[in-house]
Chain A
């Protein structure tokens, strides 16, 4: 089954304790992206990646890191989490065909609480 898999689904952590949210896709997609979803603010892009070793900042990159060492994986790293990073996080992947973008396929989400 074609899918984007995020882990964990739920995470409660303390301020300052480094954490990683993993993301993997099995569709051989070039593009991958991380979004956070907050009430009333919709989905805001954190980072995105056009291919292996190619990443760029989205709208809200502060406090986050990403890496794309393999095509299928795109982990999100919070080096020193703070309470304002409490949110619902989504990983997504997409592809191009004949020079055109297609829609993102989203994972099921990771609900992060930083206390």
Chain B
């Protein structure tokens, strides 16, 4: 059973546009929601993360929106650039309490930003 569902599988955006990637989860015990960025030939790198006590977190052009009641969270990339072309993964874990270290990933979104 997939713990975190991610969509779309691929996304093509024009330079300067907004990229939006969505994720949904079922387990209400999740309380840590990171996004990872992966370039070809590299390991995933932590991009931004949110905990459910806030509805939005912004770091530069990257924003996470979190909807606790809908059990959904999304990544928005403003003013998308060709250098943002990568695979993006959402993830979720129980950041506090038992089973620490157990991090579940979505299946990834391949983002292509055209110049």
Which residue of chain B has the shortest Cβ distance to A101 in the bound complex? B95
- Given known A-B contacts A33-B101, A43-B105, A90 and B89 have beta carbons under 8 A apart: no
**Contact of B107 with A by CB under 8 A:** yes
- Given known A-B contacts A99-B96, A100-B96, A101-B32, A90 and B103 have beta carbons under 8 A apart: no
Q: Which B residues are in CB contact (< 8 Å) with A107? A: 43
Which residue of chain A has the shortest Cβ distance to B3 in the bound complex? A59
Which residue of chain B has the shortest Cβ distance to A9 in the bound complex? B41
Q: Which B residues are in CB contact (< 8 Å) with A92? A: 43
Whether the Cβ atoms of B49 and A103 lie closer than 8 Å is: yes
Q: Separation in Å of the A114 CB from the closest CB of chain B? A: 21
B residues 84-110 near A (Cβ < 8 Å) are 89, 93, 95-96, 99-108
Chain A 16-52 interface 0/1 with B at a Cβ cutoff of 8 Å (1 = within): 0000000000000001010100001111110011100
Whether the Cβ atoms of B107 and A42 lie closer than 8 Å is: yes
**Secondary structure at chain A's binding surface: helix, strand, loop or mixed?**
strand
Q: Separation in Å of the B14 CB from the closest CB of chain A? A: 26
Whether the Cβ atoms of A44 and B105 lie closer than 8 Å is: yes
Interface size class of B (residues with CB under 8 A): 20 to 34
Q: Separation in Å of the B6 CB from the closest CB of chain A? A: 8
Q: Separation in Å of the B108 CB from the closest CB of chain A? A: 5
Whether the Cβ atoms of B105 and A42 lie closer than 8 Å is: yes
Most buried by B among A40, A41, A104: A104
5 closest A-B pairs by beta carbon, nearest first, are: A106-B43, A103-B46, A42-B107, A101-B95, A31-B101
List 23 contacting pairs A-B, 8 Å CB cutoff, sorted by A.
A4-B43, A33-B103, A35-B105, A40-B9, A42-B108, A43-B44, A43-B89, A43-B105, A43-B108, A45-B104, A58-B102, A90-B43, A94-B101, A99-B96, A100-B32, A100-B51, A101-B32, A101-B95, A101-B101, A103-B49, A108-B41, A108-B43, A109-B42
Q: A56-B99, A100-B51, A106-B44 are in contact. List 10 more A-B contacts (CB 8 A).
A: A41-B107, A43-B89, A45-B103, A56-B102, A59-B104, A90-B44, A103-B46, A105-B46, A106-B43, A108-B41
